[in-house]
Structure 1
Amino acid sequence: MSNPFFAPSAPHGIPDFPNLRFEHYREAFDKGFAEQGEEIQRIVASAEAPTFENTLLALENSGATLRRVEDVFWNLTSSDTDEKLQALECEIAPESSAHRSAIYGNPKLFSRVQAVYDSEEELSPEQRQLLEETRQLFVRSGAALDEADRHRVSAITEKLAVLCTRFGQNVLADSNAYALVLTDEKDLAGLPAYVRDMGREEARSRGHLDAWVFTLSRSSITPFLQYADQRSLREAIYRGYTECGTRTVDNRPLIREIVALRQERAQLLGFESHADFMLDDRMARTTEAVRELLDQVWDPCQAQVAREATALLECSGLAAGEELAPWDWWYYTEKLRRQRFDLDPDELKQYFTLENVRDGVFAVANKLYGLVFKERRDLPVYHPDVVPYEVCEADGTRVGFFLFDFYSRPSKRSGAWMSEFRAQSYDGQRVTPVIVNCCNFPKSTPCLLGVDEVRTLFHEFGHGLHGLLSDVPYASLGGTNVKQDFVELPSQIMEHWAMEPQVLKSYARHVDSGEVIPDALIAKLKDSEQFKQGFATTEYLAACYLDLAWHSDPRAAEGDVEAFEAQAMAAIGKTPMIDPRYKSTYFQHIFSDDAYSAGYYVYIWAEVLDADGYEAFKENGLFDSNTARAFRSHVLERGGSADPMALYRAFRGRDPRVEPLLRNRGLL
């Protein structure tokens, strides 16, 4: 059978999944590496004076075969992997890194890029941005260094690709290996029926015919911690989660090696630390700016979390002098929520079937931007759970294709994310993107979502819109190819619509009766929005500080991982009753690749933007066409084709303010 990667993309751009075979990947990578290598050599060997077209545009358009195979391979190693793919991933990761280093560390190619940069060639704003970003890639890859240092930077980057791949695979293996197996119905005390049913289904899928199984999937562990009456069992599953990366595997040596190599590379490139290196290419620019923002939120947050702890202790019934443990917060918070707001999350879930929430987010996109989502079961998919949609403008013009991959499975890493199988660009006409949203909801009938899961769906859909609506000339500047602390603006602003009363009434219907969610229940939901914000903000910010500690301390790699983590938490005065959202050994955001390293803060940075930006919709109308048009044209369509703060100012008319964030979190 011919290799599908060698054929031009189908008009819809969705890969030919049904005809893909494992052996096609290796063959396509080899050909893709070779083809792009030859294309780069032709650019370097050109006798023509360097211009934007013969250097920058030629580089941008190189590697078509490689892009096709990479877009599929790296998506599937996250969403539908197996042992063979994981083994190949360990081979490809360093080869891909070496190939990229050979391009962006090539001093002759860099000299041509620099020549265009220094020339007086008249360029459009998008061309100038591509030139700036490309030149920055070369500098940050070591192209301006002497030969020895350049080779060392390349070697470090290749080694990091291997280590980060292994880290992520270890987390997946350790997560899959854990199961809390219960055989006595007494152990289920406090668990709602839907949680018991979910545990029973998981047990059957694992061959346990008369048991209940709970896993480290968020959709499993979170309700267990919320409702399970037996404290010892809550502790067991919580420890199972927080010890991930240390049980069947040990990620601690990997962490030390990753941190040490990142530090060495940063210093070779002229930076004091890896954090300085990463932040130099973000909106924040400096560690001081990041810490200033975190501190602005941390201080009022600690006052709030102290009040929450007092309230939880009062309702807990714990013995005098006994402290709340981390595995108690979810449980007693749920009890206190019911006392204060008479709000039953199980009752709420009955209004949030997956299908209704999906239709709700489609309706919001239609009202804001005129988009229409049409299910297309005739299109190829990589897994039976995936549902493809064609996305069109109101006038029928095709915008792109959108794949929804909702359910958890052992072959999919944890969490939720957006990616693409084809990026938007221009090739005579607009090349339509192929976007995918991956979630990890329980595969049950019906699939009922909690409020946090509803927000997750809206969040990832916001990323999807960023990719779908991209309208820039060059793929490397399109969609989510923006500064890391700007990328969460489209996703986080989308979350705001999820719980707006008028939006809830359009999609939240009872699973059995079809009744629209009652006003009284909406009121309870709105009243409780700021409840537990001290806890939620503390666990998130603690992880931000931990990330910065690992990557701003030049000696971080020298000691014990747990000791370093404890020291970092002591430095900010974190309460022992709350752990950081991710401990180091399973902190995939910062150790599975470089993207979010020294950058987990980006969610709170972007929250300043999204909270302030959403104020414009509240002032003008949630579906005001002018406001939506401004957000689409200045943010969603522009990708990384201009300075992100300039794009935000063009939308909002001014710089963002931090007060809306603090107000939303109840921290003013």
Structure 2
Amino acid sequence: MTNPDLSDPDHSESAPAPNPLIAAWSTPFGVPPFAEIRPEHFPPAFEAALEAHRAEIESLAADPAPPSFETTLLGLETSGRLLTRVAQVFFNLCGADTNPALQAIERDIAPRLAAHHAAIFTDARLFQRIDALEAGKDRLDAEAQRLLQRTRLAFIRAGARLDPAGKARMAEIVERLATLGTQFAQNLLADEAAWTLVLDTEDDRAGLPDFVIDAALRAGAERGHPGKAVITLSRSSIEPFLTFSARRDLRRQAYEAWTRRGEMGGATDNRALIAEMVALRLERARLLGYPTFAAYKLDDTMAKTPEAVRGLLEEVWAPAKARALRELCDLQRLAEQEGFNGTIAGWDWRHYAEKLRKARFDLDEAATKPYLPLDQVIAAAFDTASRLFGLVFTERTDVPVYHPDVRAFEVSRDGRHVALFLGDYFARPSKRSGAWMSSFRTQEKLAGDIRPIIVNVMNFAKGEPALLSFDDARTLFHEFGHALHGMLSDVTYPSLAGTDVATDFVELPSQLYEHWLSRPEVLGRFARHHATGQPMPEEMIARIKAAQTFNQGYATVEYVASALVDLAFHEMADTSNLDPLAFEAKELARIGMPAEISMRHRTPHFAHVFAGDGYSAGYYSYLWSEVLDADAFAAFEETGNVFDPATAERLSRFIYAAGNRRDPAEAYIAFRGRLPTTAALLKKRGLADAA
């Protein structure tokens, strides 16, 4: 083929390729065509989507006809579809497979999107039309009434009733908070990507099992140190190292790097960002008539008030701390028996706790991991969903994915398509730490039977095969519980679909799902040795069950301390001259935090709370939901069958499939017949008699 003559006017300009983010997608299940999408496609796609959405909103707000549910609320529900599609692809990639180009776009677009949505939710014309629908709400069915209630409340909480000056200031605040949250997350990722501990010698590797060394060698190859074993700040790397390394000096080095992410100084230090965020959140709350940000944030949750949250946290804190102090004495005694003459520190706790667990229960992570290969744990999660909800999972290799590690599964029931599930399981430098569920498309019936595309993102260490700790396996079940909440969603309106529920209710489906992992019915079938195929011995399963409450004082203290610090930051009524680390230290001193235990998420890297405000004043939600999940699983146990069909049907109908169709307390009562108490939670954590 000859090259075209570029002087020929017919060939002077070739037509630009269509932007794949805007073009129709002909991929299986309508998955984004990831191979065609490049960073430079996002800015023009966002521009087009924002322009289209603004035009749609203007048409709704300026409609001269009297407002109706169809023209106003349904018009709002169906607006901005292109923007939603572009944003879902973009922010999923920013979390799971980012790069400098995407990060630059994120810094630009995050505040612009915040300002865009603030303009919509403070549009007086639009709110007036929505508010007018309140008088005729009794003519709507229950789900439509719920949509009206939630939409109207969203406008009020965004500042729709403020005067023009208040609205302008609110817009400035939300835009600035979006900028700060984005920078916080990117700083944290930079700190995590930059730090490594190279284990140069055999002595550096002392005490490490083969699975830790193998994972470290793979991390070394990924980080530019081929042939070297490298520990990173991924939780799947750092925690096994702290558990097994015999080198106390290296454990300390790793622990201090892990606990000081976000406060290293320089361009990635998050302390100033935190102080500004806390101040802006307080100002935002006061604009809306609340005394503190916690009062504002919690007003739209199951908990309702900071006092209720603090009451729960402190009810659990006292027995958890008492239990942790007894655990500390046991660890100190064991260390001294081994010839250690010092005092247990934070970098020692996991190391000696693992030794004590082995001594007390004849159980250690190195012995259990061979029975928990990743593929088998995935199969266990799928089988549990099949037995509870009738779902079938079929792996698809013809579906586009955004990274070679990602696996795609079609989810069906009775021969009908339910969802597409993407599993992204391995740690890499381009992925933020942690584990989460998200969606590339949410379920709805408004535009037809739209089925969801759900993704679970993890940070497990690679291996041949990848072997999971029991905590890793629990994390997989947890996130798959969230995924089921998204996949089983069966509501009409996209704003009420899937996981779009109260923060302290959203963890119920995920934490409840964890319970099935430790059941003999599941472990007995799927916990099989990766080399021999032999099932996990029954006595090992029994020891795992017996050890479930081991070290729960420590685990509860590190979590509850984080939740109390989060709450304290957002109960502040005066944020002037705030030093986040001094404030953190003061709150920990107030509650009597044991020096040997660190918060699970210290303030400078508390992404739940400061990389956006999803869990701000809301980290307690895991514990609130745990009260629910402990009681909910008891509903199955009371039947004598943890897969009881009738109980599973109620669970699906009122919890997993129901989205936000009703108030969460009403939803739980519809499933269980009553609200729970903390008794089941304290029993589950082994704290009932610890105070």
Determine the structure 1 residue equivalent to 2:317: 298
Partner amino acid, structure 1, of 2:21:
F
Determine the structure 1 residue equivalent to 2:97: 80
Hey, what's the Cα distance between the residues in 1 that align with 2:137 and 2:384? 46
Determine the structure 1 residue equivalent to 2:434: 415
2:118–2:158: 8 Å Cα contact kept in structure 1? yes
Hey, what's the Cα distance between the residues in 2 that align with 1:205 and 1:16? 26
Determine the structure 2 residue equivalent to 1:335: 355
1:13–1:422: 8 Å Cα contact kept in structure 2? no
How far is 1:489 from its partner?
Answer: 0.3
Determine the structure 2 residue equivalent to 1:488: 507
Gaps of 5+ in 1: none
Hey, what's the Cα distance between the residues in 2 that align with 1:435 and 1:4? 20
Task: Give per-residue Cα distances to partners, 1:130-187, cap 9 Å, x unaligned.
Answer: 1111111111111101000111011100000000000000000001110011212112
How far is 1:121 from its partner?
Answer: 5.8
Determine the structure 2 residue equivalent to 1:642: 662
Hey, what's the Cα distance between the residues in 1 that align with 2:552 and 2:530? 29
1:358 and 2:375 are equivalent in the alignment: no
- Show the 5 A alignment for 1:242-641: 242-247=259-264, 249-317=268-336, 322-393=342-413, 395-427=414-446, 429-556=448-575, 558-620=577-639, 621-641=641-661
Among candidates 123, 130, 147, match of residue 147 of structure 2: 130
Determine the structure 2 residue equivalent to 1:187: 204
Greater Cα offset, 358-367 or 190-199: 190-199
Hey, what's the Cα distance between the residues in 1 that align with 2:570 and 2:343? 32
How far is 1:539 from its partner?
Answer: 0.1
CA distance change for structure 1 residues 444 and 321 in 2, over 3 Å: closer, same or farther?
closer
How far is 1:64 from its partner?
Answer: 1.3
Hey, what's the Cα distance between the residues in 1 that align with 2:263 and 2:325? 31
Hey, what's the Cα distance between the residues in 2 that align with 1:139 and 1:477? 17
Task: Give per-residue Cα distances to partners, 1:473-504, cap 9 Å, x unaligned.
Answer: 01110100000100000000000001111110
Task: Give per-residue Cα distances to partners, 1:503-545, cap 9 Å, x unaligned.
Answer: 1011110011000111111111111110000000000000000
- Show the 5 A alignment for 1:26-105: 26-105=43-122
Partner amino acid, structure 2, of 1:6:
I
How far is 1:349 from its partner?
Answer: 0.2
Hey, what's the Cα distance between the residues in 2 that align with 1:625 and 1:556? 52
How far is 1:414 from its partner?
Answer: 0.3
User: Counterpart of 2:466 in 1: which secondary structure?
Assistant: coil
Count of matched residue positions in the alignment of Structure 1 and Structure 2? 667
Hey, what's the Cα distance between the residues in 2 that align with 1:613 and 1:162? 39
Hey, what's the Cα distance between the residues in 1 that align with 2:482 and 2:224? 37
User: Counterpart of 1:6 in 2: which secondary structure?
Assistant: coil
Hey, what's the Cα distance between the residues in 2 that align with 1:637 and 1:404? 21
Hey, what's the Cα distance between the residues in 2 that align with 1:288 and 1:646? 22
User: Counterpart of 1:576 in 2: which secondary structure?
Assistant: coil
Hey, what's the Cα distance between the residues in 1 that align with 2:631 and 2:576? 38
How far is 1:321 from its partner?
Answer: 8.3
Hey, what's the Cα distance between the residues in 1 that align with 2:425 and 2:569? 33
Greater Cα offset, 134-143 or 556-565: 556-565
Hey, what's the Cα distance between the residues in 2 that align with 1:277 and 1:564? 21
Partner amino acid, structure 2, of 1:381:
V
How far is 1:320 from its partner?
Answer: 9.2
Task: Give per-residue Cα distances to partners, 1:191-236, cap 9 Å, x unaligned.
Answer: 1111112212222232324532101111110111101111111100
Partner amino acid, structure 2, of 1:585:
P
Hey, what's the Cα distance between the residues in 2 that align with 1:135 and 1:120? 12
Partner amino acid, structure 2, of 1:648:
Y
- Show the 5 A alignment for 1:654-665: 654-665=674-685
2:500–2:660: 8 Å Cα contact kept in structure 1? yes
How far is 1:600 from its partner?
Answer: 0.3
1:183–1:210: 8 Å Cα contact kept in structure 2? no
- TM-score normalized by the length of structure 2: 0.95
1:381–1:388: 8 Å Cα contact kept in structure 2? yes
2:636–2:643: 8 Å Cα contact kept in structure 1? yes
1:105–1:142: 8 Å Cα contact kept in structure 2? yes
1:89–1:165: 8 Å Cα contact kept in structure 2? yes
Partner amino acid, structure 2, of 1:202:
A
Hey, what's the Cα distance between the residues in 2 that align with 1:512 and 1:187? 28
Determine the structure 2 residue equivalent to 1:108: 125
Task: Give per-residue Cα distances to partners, 1:55-93, cap 9 Å, x unaligned.
Answer: 111001001111110110011100010000000000000
Hey, what's the Cα distance between the residues in 1 that align with 2:305 and 2:569? 15
Hey, what's the Cα distance between the residues in 2 that align with 1:555 and 1:320? 46
2:446–2:493: 8 Å Cα contact kept in structure 1? no
Greater Cα offset, 86-95 or 178-187: 178-187
Determine the structure 2 residue equivalent to 1:6: 22
% same residue: 48
- TM-score normalized by the length of structure 1: 0.98
Determine the structure 1 residue equivalent to 2:163: 146
1:257–1:557: 8 Å Cα contact kept in structure 2? no
Task: Give per-residue Cα distances to partners, 1:322-365, cap 9 Å, x unaligned.
Answer: 43211111011011111101112111000000001001111100
How far is 1:557 from its partner?
Answer: 5.3
2:562–2:602: 8 Å Cα contact kept in structure 1? yes
1:302–1:538: 8 Å Cα contact kept in structure 2? yes
Partner amino acid, structure 1, of 2:193:
N
Q: CA RMSD in A?
A: 1.3
2:427–2:458: 8 Å Cα contact kept in structure 1? yes
User: Counterpart of 1:530 in 2: which secondary structure?
Assistant: coil
2:437–2:483: 8 Å Cα contact kept in structure 1? yes
How far is 1:658 from its partner?
Answer: 1.3
How far is 1:442 from its partner?
Answer: 1.0
Hey, what's the Cα distance between the residues in 2 that align with 1:557 and 1:663? 42
Task: Give per-residue Cα distances to partners, 1:24-44, cap 9 Å, x unaligned.
Answer: 211111111111111111111
Hey, what's the Cα distance between the residues in 2 that align with 1:92 and 1:657? 44
User: Counterpart of 2:437 in 1: which secondary structure?
Assistant: strand
Hey, what's the Cα distance between the residues in 2 that align with 1:358 and 1:212? 28
2:478–2:510: 8 Å Cα contact kept in structure 1? yes
1:227 and 2:253 are equivalent in the alignment: no
Hey, what's the Cα distance between the residues in 1 that align with 2:262 and 2:221? 26
How far is 1:265 from its partner?
Answer: 0.8
CA distance change for structure 1 residues 234 and 428 in 2, over 3 Å: closer, same or farther?
closer
Hey, what's the Cα distance between the residues in 2 that align with 1:9 and 1:155? 36
User: Counterpart of 1:425 in 2: which secondary structure?
Assistant: coil
Among candidates 184, 188, 198, match of residue 167 of structure 1: 184
How far is 1:9 from its partner?
Answer: 4.7
Hey, what's the Cα distance between the residues in 1 that align with 2:138 and 2:210? 68
Task: Give per-residue Cα distances to partners, 1:250-297, cap 9 Å, x unaligned.
Answer: 110101111111111111111111111110111101000001111111
Partner amino acid, structure 2, of 1:78:
G
Partner amino acid, structure 2, of 1:500:
R
2:444–2:451: 8 Å Cα contact kept in structure 1? yes
How far is 1:47 from its partner?
Answer: 1.3
Among candidates 16, 19, 43, match of residue 36 of structure 2: 19
How far is 1:549 from its partner?
Answer: 1.0
